Amino acid sequence: MGMRMNTAPPDLSSPILPGSVALVGAGPGDPELLTLKALRCIQAAEVLLYDHLVGPRVFALIPDTAERIDVGKTSTRHTLPQEEICRLLCQHARAGKRVVRLKGGDPLMFGRGGEEMEALRAAGIPFVVVPGITAALGASAAFHLPLTHREYASRCVFLSGHKKARDAALDDTAKEDEDWDSLARPGQTLVFYMGIARLEHIRAALIAHGMPKETPAALIYKATLPESRLWRCTLDTLPECARVENVSPPALVIIGQVLESGKK
């Protein structure tokens, strides 16, 4: 006779317990793309630390009673260093508060959620993670761009275009920041987050490692929001397109033959 686990039913009335933290994905901006659990966490928050990528209509769902702390980061502005964010999460949880760390997209996809989980675990503070729709999936759906397709791509790679160190020189002696040989192979889709400032490097590296210059590419700005935009180009014209159109973050870069789907 098999063993049965005796587990208590979840307490649906309390998505966050006092003295704990919820790392919550706010999705790409459209509030209708929030999960039900994310919405319940937001509405139960007593202290909420939020990123600048949280959509304004999602932000409007935060209760007036919650203490709001802006901890957003951009490539040129860090409101607070990551260590201070982790300290605040622990401080408010130790004070018995229901704490929400609200992140654009998904908390574990280029959102430093891993670092925050490590800090909470080390401090002995209970936490939950609530996934959100990451920007690439929001952009794919909003503009009807499949990321995989039987005729074009059986693999999709998500990459961070932002690097702590300076770009490595593209020569035989430099240690490069990505496995460009692998990334330049056909039959896959590349999605770069936070890559607008490094388009020249991305273009040069992929072409140097064998990706054809005419490979389709796209720039997507604020997908799922009313001001969203899509620009189509090629790998070779990617940096020029961004300059001419004055594309600024937050924007995604998608590269791959899959962008040709639907044109037949």
Q: How far is it, in rounded angstroms, from Cα 134 to Cα 25?
A: 8
CB 117, CB 107: distance < 8 Å: no
DSSP string, 94-159: HTT-EEEEEESB-TTSSSSHHHHHHHHHHTT--EEEE----HHHHHHHHTT--S-BTTTBSEEEEE
Burial class (CB in 10 A: 0-12, 13-18, 19+), 88: middle
CB 202, CB 185: distance < 8 Å: no
Distances (CA, A) of 168 to 162, 200, 254: 13, 12, 22
Q: Which of 11, 30, 37, 51 is catalytic?
A: 51
Tokens (6 digits) for 236? 């070779």
Q: Alpha helix (H) ranges present in the chain?
A: 36-44, 56-59, 82-94, 113-122, 135-142, 180-183, 199-208, 238-244
Among all chains, which residue has been given the structure tokens 């209970």? 126
**Does the active-site annotation cover 73?**
yes
Q: Alpha helix (H) ranges present in 170-236?
A: 180-183, 199-208
Q: Which of 73, 163, 167, 236 is catalytic?
A: 73
250 cis-preceded (ω within 30 degrees of 0): yes
Residues known to be catalytic:
51, 73
